[in-house]
Amino acid sequence: MGIIEKLRLDGKKTFVTGGARGIGFSIGSALAEAGADVAIVDMDEAQAKSAAETIARQTGRKAIAIRADVTKKADVDAMTAAVLSAFGRIDAAFCNAGICMNIPAEEMSLEDWEKVIRINLTGVFLSAQAAGKVMIKQGGGSIITTASMSAHIVNVPQPQCSYNASKAGVIQLTKSLAVEWALKNVRVNSISPGYIGTDLTLSSPTLKPLIEKWNAMAPLKRLGKPEELQAIAVYLAGDASAFTTGSDFVIDGAFTCI
């Protein structure tokens, strides 16, 4: 099999959490374009349905929408059952759902801290655990998590200690799962995006002054685009990355190099 064939995902069955918009939607679209069927998982059921319909229409692949709160095990179990009912197996899982709260550490409530950790870290664990159990039984698969360059640096000027800590945890969780499941043919890798210009980010008036500061510091003087994360996700989901596990891929336009 040549490299182009290995990069194809024809016949593979996948799910994407936080898939209704932004990075999740972009990756879900890319997986389908490469030949996979995709389950779009999100808290916003209406937006998830719209995203799935768009992906199906544009790619010709099967795309379904599932509402789930990834911090609740019962929801994750139901999501997994729904994916298996629709597709029969899970070959790749993109555990992407996450939030950020910009609150000074001395002012952050325990409730806000725990909310970020629950969604960004516990939610990734529950989603990856559910996918891993299925993949172990079926003989293998690929799990991709969304970490962040914020796991490697402390972003400025925004105060986001809970986000930074949660994303650092995602990388170590990813490495731990990769080692535990290596001989079970389940690969686990993380993608660490830099600042990405999603529709939500670009339309936020409160973020506009921050974006100007980020771009001033960035070697490329711009935000990344969601589609600039697609290639690494397709690579990790497919057979071309058979020897790649436990790795973190920083896609940040060299921001963490400065």
Instruction: Given the residues 26, 29, 142, 148, select the one marked as catalytic.
Output: 148
Whole-number pLDDT of residue 114 = 98
In the set 13, 163, 192, 241, the catalytic residue is 163
Residue from 167, 195, 235, 241 carrying the catalytic annotation: 167
Residue 79 placed within a domain = yes
pLDDT exceeds 90 at position 89: yes
What does residue 15 show for φ and ψ, rounded to 5 degrees? -135, 155
Print burial letters for 59-96: b (CB count within 10 Å at least 16), e (below 16).
bebbbbbbbbbbbeeebbeebbebbeeebeebbbbbbb
235 is catalytic: no
- Looking at the chain, the whole-number percentage of residues with pLDDT higher than 70 is 100
Domain that holds residue 75: 3-253
258 within domain boundaries: no
Count of domains observed in the chain:
1
Query: What rounded mean pLDDT belongs to the chain?
Result: 97
12 is catalytic: no
Clarify whether 13 is annotated catalytic.
no
Question: pTM above 0.75?
Answer: yes
List pLDDT tens digits, range 208-254.
889 999 999 999 999 999 999 999 999 999 999 999 999 999 999 99
Per-residue model confidence (pLDDT) at position 238: 97
What CATH number is associated with residue 143? Answer: 3.40.50.720
With a cut of 90, say whether residue 199 has pLDDT above it.
Answer: no
pLDDT tens per residue across span 130-168: 999 999 999 999 999 999 999 999 999 999 999 999 999
With CA atoms as reference, report the closest residue to 66 among 130, 143, 132.
Answer: 130
Q: Residue 239 domain-assigned? A: yes
Residue 152 located in a structural domain? yes
